[in-house]
Structure 1
C-alpha cells in the first residue's frame, strides 16, 4: 500500500487592520498562531466561519461553540481546512476576534478564502497512465513495488532531412515527437479565476536545467493524438515552458474543473555527474505588496528517473544484421548473406561510399535501447574510435524512433580498446543471490599490475557504469594486439542450465586436439590447406614449435585469469563454460589468433556464423570444424563456417568484428530491478 505523503501545513499570519484574501489548496492546512497576531492586552479570542470552512484549535479548548470566548493561554494554534473547491473567488470567510480581560473587543482579523484543488501528476505507478495525485509522485524507488515516473532521453530524430537528434531542437518537431516525452498533467478545480495577484508557476533547479525541457499543450484536452492536422504549428501549439534558459515560468490557471497537459523531454543519459533524477515543481505564488516579488505558499513536485541505455546479449532474438561491403570482402559478404537469409532476418549493408574502406562494423558501434511504460526505441552507442566508418551510426541509423548517443574523448586518449569489439554483455545471471536480469556489461582493460597499459577511455567507462542496470565487469584484454574481449570469449544460447554457455578460447584445448591428431597418425595433415602454400604448416611442425607453445602458455594464463573473473562475477561453474581449440601467436609483443578465431562469431538464434578455421583435414573434413560442430550441436546449435581469412583474419579481425546485430529488447522492465 502506498505510503501517504506528509501533510502540508502553511503558516498564515493574521492581520487585524486589513482583511486578507487567501488562497487555500485543498488537502493542506492553514496554521495560525493566534497569539502572534493578537493586539496588546488580548486575553481571549473567538472564531466564526462559513459553512464550508473547517477549523480546530490546539490545544483543544473546553468551550468549542461558535463565538465562544477561548483563552489565549497555552499559545493556541488554529488549523483551517476546506474540503470543497470554491465556486467563486473569495466565496468563503473566517474571522478571529480578540478580547481584553473584561471581554471588550480589541481587534478582528478577517480571511476571505478561495479554495482550489491542485495537483501536478505523472505516471508514478508506471502503468502507462497519469493517475491523479499519486502519493509517491515526488520520489523514486526501484523494484516491482517501487514508484516514480520515467523519462526517455529524446535522442532520436523525427526529421529525416537535415536531421539532428531531437534534443538539439528546443521545440516540438512533429506530433510523433510527443511520444518520446513523458506526459505530465496539471489538474485544477476552483473558481473561474484566482484572487488578484495570485498565480501558478512551474520551476526546476539550476542543477536539472541541462537535463530536461518542458513543453505545454495550449489545449486543455491535448493528448498524444491531438492536433494531427496541425503540421507546421507545433511550436505554437506546444510552447516551451522550462529549459536551461528558463528555470521558472508562469503557467495559466484555467478555472473550473480543468487539466493541462505538459510534455517532459529528457535531454541526457545518466552519467558520472548525473544520477538521472529530475524534479519538476509547481508553486502557487501569493502577492505581498506592490514592488515586492510574490512568495510561494504551496509547492507540488514530481520526480522523474532518466531511462538507462541497455545492451542486449547474444541470447536475445536477432532482428537485423549489419555488415560492410568493401572491394575485397565479396566472399565474406556472400557467407553473411546466406546465413542471414537462412535465419530470415533483415540485412543492412553499408557500402563503400559510407564506410570508405572501414570494414569493422562491430568496432564502430553498439546497439542498445531505452524503455519506459509508454514508449521505447533502439539507441546506437557510437564509439570514440572514429574510423572511416564514423558517419554510419549518425547518418544511417539516427532517425524516427532510432536514437543516437556517443561519448567523445580526446584523440590522444583513444586506443584500440575503445572499439566496441571490446564491449559485450552477458545474458541474465544470478550471482550469490543477486539477480542481474539484464545481464552484466563486460569491458576489456589493462591488467591491474600494468598501469601504463591500454584502457577503454574513462568517459565511456563512466557512461556505462552510470546506467546501473547492467553493473559492468572489467576483464583483462590488453595482452591482445587488438585488445578486444570478443577475441577470446562469446556467449551462445543453450536449452539447459542457465540458458547459455560461455565460450572461451583455449590454447590448451587447441594443443589437446593437435596432439590427438598426431597420436592418430595425422601429423602430416596441413593447416591452411586450400590457401596459399606459404601458410601451410603440418600438425607435427606446429607441435614442435616450442616458441609457439610458450606463447600459448602465456595466453592461456591470461584467459584463465579472465575465466576466474567471469566465473566469480557471473556466478558460473565450469559446466557453464566451453573451451574452444584456438591457438595464438605473437606479433609486436602481443597476441593474435594463429588461425581464424573460432570464438569470434556472430550468433543468430540457433545459427552460428563462425570463421572458417582452415584446420588440418582428417578424412576430408577440417578437424577444427568437426570439433566445433561436436561442441555446439549438443546445444542444438548449427555451425555455419564463413571464409573471412583474406578480408578479415589477415587484418587481425574475424566474423564478429566485421558484423553487428540489433536484437529485441528484454521482456524484463529495468525499473523493476531491486537496487
Structure 2
C-alpha cells in the first residue's frame, strides 16, 4: 500500500505519485517477488499436463505484477512536471477533472489511501452509480434477448475525453495589445461645437447625417479678402479667372476667421506609447480630393498630407485637427460623408479609430426668414433704373431692411444671376454661417446680333455682372459655380428657383422649379430651348437631400419662370405660411365685370405709357379667354401637385388676380397677332412677382389698373387677396424699368435673408418668424 501525503506536508504536489520501481518500497518488492515465484511454481506443475497452460498462467500473473508497478497513464493527457522519483497522475490534478473515473483521491493527512485498481484491469468493475430519485438503472439485456419496453438494445457509450491541445503559436488576445482601448479620434458628433474625447456623445461611431453627427462647411469664402477682382494692370478679371480663388483653393488657414470655418477633430492622448510608436491619418478614398486636414503643431496650423506620420511625442498629448471642405456635394458621385481613420502602431502592435463627418447641406432661403438685404438693379442697368432704385430704398426704411445696388453691374434681372444659399456648422460660440451664392448655370450678359453675324459678341454686360457677383465674395460669403452650360437658357435663371417654407418632414422647406411639357406648349409658340432646367442644378439640389425639389409646369408662360406664378407669405396658420398663386381667371372676371357695368371704354391701364389699350380692346373677340383660360388650367394642375406633395388644402392658398395677354413680337414682319394661341405675358403688372419684406408687408409692382371713380379697382382686388394672410401691400413702380421688358419686381431684385440653423442641435425646427 502506498502512503500519500499532501503538498503542504512534503512540498510535492498532490497529483505526483511515487515511482515504486525507484522508491525501493519493501512491500511492493516482496509482493512482486511472491507473484513471480508463484508463477514459476504453477508453470512447473502444469508442464506435465499442458505446455500452453503452463505458459499462460505465469504470463497473467506477471502482467498483474507489472500493473502494480506501472503508473496510470490513461488520464495523463496533459502531464505536468513532478520531482524525480514521482510521476504525474491526471486524475488527481484539480485542473484535469473531465475523466469519468478518478483514481487515487487525496486522503486527509495521516490517513491511508485505498488500494488503486488500474483503469485497464478487466477483473474489477466500478459499482453502478445510483439513478435519480433512488431508482435502479435498467439491466442490460443478455445477448439474444429482446430489450424490455423503454430499454434500448445497446448501452450508451461514455463520451470520449477531449483530445489533448496541439502545440502551436499562441493566438494574440486583445488584452495583450497595449494599445487596446487607448486609440481614439473624435469629431463634434453631438454638435456642441467641440470635439471632446472625454465626451461619450462625441465617440458616436455612426455615420453623420443632416440631422445628427458632425458636419463641416465647404470653405468657399474669402476670409482674408485676398481674392482680387482686377489683374495687376487694373483690368477687370473675367468669369474664368474669378472662379479660381477662394479659401478652399489653397492649403493654408488664412487667419483666425478662416479657422472658424473648419470642423474640429481631436486625437486623445496616449501617455504610455513608446518612443517607437507612431500614428497616421487616412481619409476614405472618395473624400481625399474633397477635403483638407490641418494639424496644430506647436501652436501653428499645418496642412496634414495623406500618409504623413504623427510622432510618439505628439500622441502623448491631445492632438488638435481641423477639417476643411474644398468641394460641395453636387451629385451621386460623392455623398458628402467623410471617414477619418487614425492608425497607431507601437512595438508590433496596431490599433485604429475612426471619426465620421458629413458635408453640411446647402439650403435655399424661404419667405419666413427675415429680409436683411435686398440687392437691386443699378443706375447702369437702364435709363429709368435709378428711379426704381430710389423708390425701393424708401420702402426699405419703412419695412426695416437694407437696399443695396448689385455692385456696378449692368444686370437688369438681378434675380436671375444667382440663388442665395447657406450652410451651417455648430461652434462653441453658436452657429457658423457660410453664405453661398449659387451662380446660375448660364453665361449672362453676352449678346449676339442676327443681323451682324460677323460681329464679335458683346460681353460688356457679362464682365460687369460677374464682377458684381464675385464682388459679394468675402468673409463668410462664397460663390459656387457648378454649371456646365455656356448658353443663357431661360429655365436656368434664378427666377425659376423658389422655395416653399418649412413643413412636416422638411424642416427647411422644399424647392420649386419650373419646366415645360411638350403637350402644354401652345400651338403657335416656337420653342427652341431645353424643356427642363440644367441637369447640373437639378442634380445639385437633389443631392442635398433636405429640400426635395417639386417641378411644376410653366409651359404657358413666355419667360417660363416659377416666380411669375407662385410665391409664399407668412400667415397665422398651423403651417405658418400660405401659398400665393396667380389666378388669371380672377383677373379676367374683373375686367369682364367692368365691361358689363359699362366701363369698356376705360383705359385698361392707368399708366401714362400704356394709353390706347381699352378694356373692350383687351377682351375683343374673346382673345383674352384662351390665353387666360389655358393658364388657369395649367396653374390648377400645379396646385394639385403641391397639395399632393405637401398636404396643404384650399384654406392654405391665396389666389391673386393676374391678367395675361398673348405674347407679341414687335419685330415680327407679319405684325402683332393678339389672337395667337401662344405664350402668356403680363397685361397688368403681376403682383405675385413681388418681395416679402417681413411678416406683415409685401412689396408688389404697382398695378396701374383702370381707375374708376377715383379708385384702382384692380389694385384693390390684389390688396384684398393678400389681406387673407394679414399682409399689407406696398408698391414700387416697375413699369418702364422691368414691366415693359417682360419682368417684375422680384425679377429685378435678389434677397439675402436671415439664415436659420434648421438641422443643428438645439435649433428649433418650428417655423421661424419673419421680421417683426
Query: So what's the TM-score if we normalise by structure 2?
Result: 0.66
Of residues 554, 558, 566, the one that matches 2:630 is 554
Q: Which residue of 2 aligns with 1:140?
A: 207
2:233 equivalent to 1:170: no
Unaligned runs of 5+ in 2: 1-76, 82-93, 98-162, 229-244, 445-461, 522-528, 666-677, 766-772
Native 8 Å contact 1:362 1:421 kept in 2: yes
Of residues 599, 602, 607, the one that matches 2:691 is 602
SS of equivalent to 2:343:
strand
Q: Distance in 2 between matches of 1:379 and 1:256?
A: 37
Q: Distance in 1 between matches of 2:468 and 2:78?
A: 78
Q: Distance in 1 between matches of 2:375 and 2:495?
A: 14
Superposed CA offset, 1:315-370 (max 9, x none): 2111111101133212321221111111121221125xx31x22111111111210
* Greater shift in the superposed pair: 414-423 or 394-403: 394-403
Q: Which residue of 1 aligns with 2:491?
A: 417
Native 8 Å contact 2:656 2:722 kept in 1: no
2:306 equivalent to 1:275: no
Distance 1:45 1:73, change over 3 A: farther
Superposed CA offset, 1:506-561 (max 9, x none): 1110112112223334333211223235x432223323342222121111122122
2:373 equivalent to 1:320: yes
Matches within 5 A, 1:372-411: 372-374=425-427, 375-387=432-444, 388=462, 390-392=465-467, 394-411=469-486
Q: Distance in 2 between matches of 1:419 and 1:611?
A: 20
Distance 1:123 1:71, change over 3 A: farther
SS of equivalent to 1:444:
strand
Instruction: Give how far 1:266 is off.
Output: 1.0
Distance 1:478 1:142, change over 3 A: same
Give the CA RMSD over aligned residues.
3.1
Instruction: Give how far 1:287 is off.
Output: 7.0
Q: Which residue of 1 aligns with 2:231?
A: none
Query: So what's the TM-score if we normalise by structure 1?
Result: 0.75
Q: Distance in 1 between matches of 2:405 and 2:583?
A: 33
Matches within 5 A, 1:217-228: 217-219=296-298
Of residues 298, 304, 308, the one that matches 1:241 is 304
2:566 equivalent to 1:476: no
Superposed CA offset, 1:437-458 (max 9, x none): 2110111112275797522110
Q: Which residue of 2 aligns with 1:444?
A: 514
Q: Which residue of 1 aligns with 2:131?
A: none
Matches within 5 A, 1:489-508: 489-508=566-585
Superposed CA offset, 1:66-107 (max 9, x none): xxxx9636999767466xxxxxxxxxxx8xxxxxxxxxxxxx
Q: Which residue of 2 aligns with 1:337?
A: 393
Of residues 165, 170, 193, the one that matches 1:72 is 165
Q: Which residue of 1 aligns with 2:15?
A: none
SS of equivalent to 2:339:
strand
Q: Which residue of 2 aligns with 1:187?
A: 268
Q: Distance in 2 between matches of 1:180 and 1:45?
A: 67
Of residues 192, 198, 213, the one that matches 2:292 is 213
Native 8 Å contact 2:208 2:214 kept in 1: no
Distance 1:673 1:467, change over 3 A: farther
Native 8 Å contact 2:275 2:313 kept in 1: no
Distance 1:114 1:529, change over 3 A: closer
Unaligned runs of 5+ in 1: 1-41, 47-59, 64-69, 83-93, 95-110, 223-236, 289-295
Q: Which residue of 1 aligns with 2:768?
A: none
SS of equivalent to 1:585:
strand
* Greater shift in the superposed pair: 250-259 or 462-471: 250-259
Q: Distance in 1 between matches of 2:593 and 2:329?
A: 53
How many equivalent pairs are there?
547
Matches within 5 A, 1:500-539: 500-532=577-609, 535-539=611-615
* Greater shift in the superposed pair: 575-584 or 130-139: 130-139
Distance 1:365 1:61, change over 3 A: farther
Q: Distance in 2 between matches of 1:673 and 1:143?
A: 15
Instruction: Give how far 1:497 is off.
Output: 4.2
* Structure (1 or 2) with the larger CA radius of gyration: 2
Structure with the bigger percentage of strand: 1
Matches within 5 A, 1:626-665: 626-665=716-755
2:680 equivalent to 1:591: yes
Q: Distance in 2 between matches of 1:392 and 1:115?
A: 56
Q: Distance in 1 between matches of 2:347 and 2:519?
A: 66
Instruction: Give how far 1:571 is off.
Output: 1.6
Of residues 131, 135, 144, the one that matches 2:196 is 131
Q: Distance in 2 between matches of 1:496 and 1:339?
A: 27
Distance 1:182 1:502, change over 3 A: same
Structure with the bigger percentage of helix: 2
Superposed CA offset, 1:258-305 (max 9, x none): 1111111111211211111011111023677xxxxxxx8222111110
Of residues 200, 204, 220, the one that matches 2:279 is 200
SS of equivalent to 2:269:
strand
Distance 1:468 1:199, change over 3 A: same
SS of equivalent to 1:566:
helix
Native 8 Å contact 1:44 1:72 kept in 2: no
Native 8 Å contact 1:189 1:255 kept in 2: no
* Greater shift in the superposed pair: 160-169 or 272-281: 160-169
Superposed CA offset, 1:575-631 (max 9, x none): 211111112122264221112111100110122111112111122121111111112
Q: Distance in 2 between matches of 1:370 and 1:602?
A: 23
Q: Distance in 1 between matches of 2:95 and 2:254?
A: 62
Instruction: Give how far 1:61 is off.
Output: 7.1
